[in-house]
Amino acid sequence: MTATETRTPPARAHGPGGRAGRRAGWARGVRLALLAAFLVIFLIPVYVLLVTSFKPLTEADPSRAWALPEVWTAQPWRVAWDKLAPGIWNSVLLAVPGALISAVLGSMNGYVLSKWRFPGADVLFTLFLFGMFIPYQGVMIPLVQLLVKLNEITQSVTGASGVFYGAIPGLLLAHVVYGIPICTLIFRNYYVTIPDELIEASRVDGAGMLRTYWSVVLPVSGPAFAVVIIWQFTSMWNDFLFAVFLTGPQSWPTTVMLNNIAGAQTVPYSQQMAAALLASIPTMIVYVLLGRFFMRGLMAGALKG
Amino acid sequence: MTRVRRWLPGLLLVTPSIIAIAVFVYGMLGWNFRLAMTDRHDEISEGSFVGLENFVTLWDQKRWGISVNHAVVFTVVFVFGALALGWLLAFLMEKGIKGEGTFRAVYLFPMAISFVATGVVWRWLMNSGQDERAVGLNRLFDSLGLDFLQWEWFRNPDWGMAAMAIPAIWQMSGYVMALFLAGFRGVPEDLREAARVDGCTEWQVYRHIVLPLLRPVTLSALIILGHISLKVFDLIVAVSGKQIITDVPAVFMWVAVFDSHDPAKGATIAAYIVLAVSVFVIPYLVWTLRKERRP
């Protein structure tokens, strides 16, 4: 390699005043400038949403589209709240219990698949993972048919109509079941880090599977629970496909209601954008307060534990 | 016997999930494929088995060809766009930079928001009105004197789907950045230092040490982006509604089920989406399983 003789030593070997040091400083400046430019580009939609959502009707004019409102008003927000509130409540009824049930199921599966393994556990786990990637369109029509059947069964047994299809429990069921793969993956990857010796010691002491789970594994599961709950809450809150196929007007969650509001041609921009912001507040709070856990959920989705 | 006693309780504990996955994932995929092979073209008849007829006749429909075309354009632009931008952002941040936490948080936040909510603003940003009727980005270009950048965005019949990929890139490139950043930081510093001592330039260190080690991350990102792309639905509905100009298979399926009331056709489209995703997800999962079994 002839380049060896002429190569420049690493930049860090020079003092800050050296030529290489100056070049490194210049490179850092360029990097910072590029990152800042992308920051601005990424925030453009947020600027538009915020600015427009505070504009009165009279200012919803193309020529002033990018300007700040001359008169600030919360009116669009009030209208958006009135229209969206039932959907928000439906979303809460869906996403809060849904996330909790998902976490419990994922925790039990993850425990067994990492610490109480049975023959074929790896293959089973891979079969689970495929469920994470399936396009939900592929199960949509049968799912509707199954929920309709469940409606008929519950009606003939309890007399209550429309319990599953067209209602929150059906949507909840779908989200929990199709959330099993990712929840299992997150917990399994987390529990792998618990030393096997700990489980072994508990076994030697005569504790069974559930006992070990309850007194050894569960007490250290906090972070994994946080990741799964945030992850499932966000995906249930943001989901549109299941909601639009499985719910009726009484049980529409936020996304479906928002889409209906935004789809109407006569609704002013300012109200649509206020509604879009309103619909995003819960997930944004989760992201801002618990971004670290949100991030871990994302990384788990990439199969990298 | 004692060995069975050792693992049986575990198996019992996951049995409910096994049943759920068996029924809801594999059972329903099978059910959908069976429905796709019948002539149940309305909601009253039972339908009888017709084999792969629906899979063949679908290609006679102009709309199906258009939607497949759109999906391909969207996938190519979205996957490479998000991969390139995510990689660039991670590369710029790799060595640590002032305010890194803020940059990361901003690049990543679009992921926390639903496509339906961001669709509201992107539909406005990508409004096709131009010059004095311009709103959104066209208005911005107009006032910056960059008129030549104005175009009809997703209403362009040829490249509209490339415009539709822009919000998707906005939403997902932060995720790719996070993956690559973890990948970059996972490269041990001693490895880089050793290469430098051996006389490698920074570029050679990058080319021969860092890039090869990023390959698994790139593959993961590719699979995740690809499968999101092929089933994309809410973004399209939120930005443009159910217009043919932005039709993709997932939207076409919705139209077939809800508007044309044709379950067999809807199931056929759904089956094609499943097949398209499976073609690269299944090899990936098999590869992951093998890798995990290796000690």
> A9-23, A157-171, B58-72, B275-289: which range is least confident on average?
A9-23
CA dist A123 and A7 (Å) reads 51
pLDDT given for residue B244 in this prediction: 84
Above pLDDT 70, what percent of chain B? 99
List CB contacts (< 8 A) between A130 and chain B. 25, 281-282, 285
- Could A141 and B267 be called an inter-chain contact, meaning their C-beta atoms sit closer than 8 Å? yes
List CB contacts (< 8 A) between B260 and chain A. none
Q: Is the pLDDT of residue A9 over 60?
A: no
CA dist B9 and B6 (Å) reads 7
Average pLDDT on B33-39 reads 95
pLDDT given for residue A19 in this prediction: 67
pLDDT given for residue B2 in this prediction: 65
B4 reaches A (C-beta below 8 A): no
Average pLDDT on A269-276 reads 92
Closest residue, chain A, to B136 (C-alpha): A65
Average pLDDT, chain B: 90
pLDDT given for residue A303 in this prediction: 57
For A39-89, the pLDDT digits (tens) are 999 999 999 999 999 998 887 777 777 889 888 999 999 999 999 999 999
Q: Is the pLDDT of residue A269 over 80?
A: yes
- Could A116 and B13 be called an inter-chain contact, meaning their C-beta atoms sit closer than 8 Å? yes
Q: For chain B, report the end-to-end CA distance as a whole number of angstroms.
A: 28
Residue recorded with tokens 């996957």: B79
Size of interface A-B (CB pairs under 8 A): 273
Please identify among residues 191-230 of chain B the ones whose CB lies closer than 8 Å to any CB of chain A. 196, 199, 201-202, 216-217, 220-221, 223-224, 227, 230
Average pLDDT on B251-279 reads 94
CA dist B223 and B25 (Å) reads 19
- Could B25 and A134 be called an inter-chain contact, meaning their C-beta atoms sit closer than 8 Å? yes
B274 reaches A (C-beta below 8 A): yes
Residue recorded with tokens 């698949």: A113
For B281, the closest of A130, A138, A298 (CB atoms) is A130
For B12, the 3-state DSSP assignment is: helix
Q: Is the pLDDT of residue A7 over 50?
A: no
A305: closest CA of chain B, how far (Å):
11
- Could B25 and A124 be called an inter-chain contact, meaning their C-beta atoms sit closer than 8 Å? no
List CB contacts (< 8 A) between A139 and chain B. 24-25, 28-29, 32
Choose among A140, B245, B221, B142: nearest CA to A148. Answer: A140
For B174, the 3-state DSSP assignment is: helix
Give B229's Cβ-side CA count (13 Å radius). 31
For A249-268, the pLDDT digits (tens) are 999 999 999 999 887 777 78
Whole-model pTM? 0.90
- Could A146 and B121 be called an inter-chain contact, meaning their C-beta atoms sit closer than 8 Å? no
For B107-153, the pLDDT digits (tens) are 999 999 999 999 999 998 998 887 777 788 888 888 888 877 888 88
CA dist B108 and B130 (Å) reads 31
pLDDT given for residue A18 in this prediction: 65
DSSP code, position B128: -
- H-run or E-run covering B65: helix B62-93
Q: What is the dihedral of CA A13, A14, A20, A25, to 10 degrees?
A: 100
Please identify among residues 231-260 of chain B the ones whose CB lies closer than 8 Å to any CB of chain A. 231, 233-234, 237-238, 241, 249-250, 253-254, 257
Integer CA distances (angstroms), B180 to B140, B207, B275, in order: 32, 15, 28
Integer CA distances (angstroms), A290 to A199, A294, B222, in order: 30, 6, 27
Please identify among residues 68-97 of chain A the ones whose CB lies closer than 8 Å to any CB of chain B. none
DSSP code, position B49: B
CA dist A117 and A106 (Å) reads 15
List CB contacts (< 8 A) between B286 and chain A. 126
B134 reaches A (C-beta below 8 A): yes
Average pLDDT on A118-137 reads 92
- Could A284 and B112 be called an inter-chain contact, meaning their C-beta atoms sit closer than 8 Å? yes
Q: Which residue has the higher pLDDT, A141 or B148?
A: A141
Residue B225, amino acid: L
Closest residue, chain B, to A243 (C-alpha): B234
CA dist A103 and A231 (Å) reads 10
B220: closest CA of chain A, how far (Å):
6
Residue recorded with tokens 């069964």: A153
CA dist A105 and A177 (Å) reads 10
- Could B121 and A276 be called an inter-chain contact, meaning their C-beta atoms sit closer than 8 Å? yes
- Could B107 and A42 be called an inter-chain contact, meaning their C-beta atoms sit closer than 8 Å? yes
B156 φ, ψ (degrees, to nearest 5): -70, 125
List CB contacts (< 8 A) between A263 and chain B. 241
| SS3 track for chain A | CCHHHHCCCCHHHCCCCCHHHHHHHHHHHHHHHHHHHHHHHHHHHHHHHHHHHCCCHHHCCHHHCCCCCCCCCCHHHHHHHHHHHHHHHHHHHHHHHHHHHHHHHHHHHHHHHHHCCCCCHHHHHHHHHHHHHCCCHHHHHHHHHHHHHHHHHHHHHHCCCCCCCECHHHHHHHHHHHHHHHHHHHHHHHHCCCCHHHHHHHHHCCCCHHHHHHHHHHHHCHHHHHHHHHHHHHHHHHCCHHHHHHECHHHCCHHHHHHHHHHCCCCCHHHHHHHHHHHHHHHHHHHHHHHHHHHHHHHHHCCCC
For B213-237, the pLDDT digits (tens) are 898 889 989 999 998 998 889 999 9
Q: Are B295 and B78 in contact (CB under 8 A)?
A: no
For B271, the closest of A118, A138, A258 (CB atoms) is A138
Closest residue, chain B, to A117 (C-alpha): B7
Q: Is the pLDDT of residue A225 over 90?
A: yes
Confidence of residue B294 (pLDDT cuts 50, 70, 90): low
Q: Which residues contact B218 (CB under 8 A, 6 or more apart)?
A: B83, B180
pLDDT given for residue A42 in this prediction: 96
Integer CA distances (angstroms), B74 to A55, A130, B67, B111, in order: 34, 24, 10, 19
Q: Are B119 and B131 in contact (CB under 8 A)?
A: no
Choose among A207, A262, A229: nearest CA to A97. Answer: A229
Q: What is the dihedral of CA B225, B285, B214, B91, to 10 degrees?
A: 20
CA dist A178 and A98 (Å) reads 11
List CB contacts (< 8 A) between A61 and chain B. none
Q: Give B286-289 contacts, CB < 8 A, sequence gap 24+.
A: B286/A126, B288/A126, B288/A129, B288/A303, B289/A122, B289/A123, B289/A126
Q: Which residues contact A115 (CB under 8 A, 6 or more apart)?
A: A191, A194, A196, A199, A212, A217
For A112, the closest of B13, B105, B114 (CB atoms) is B13
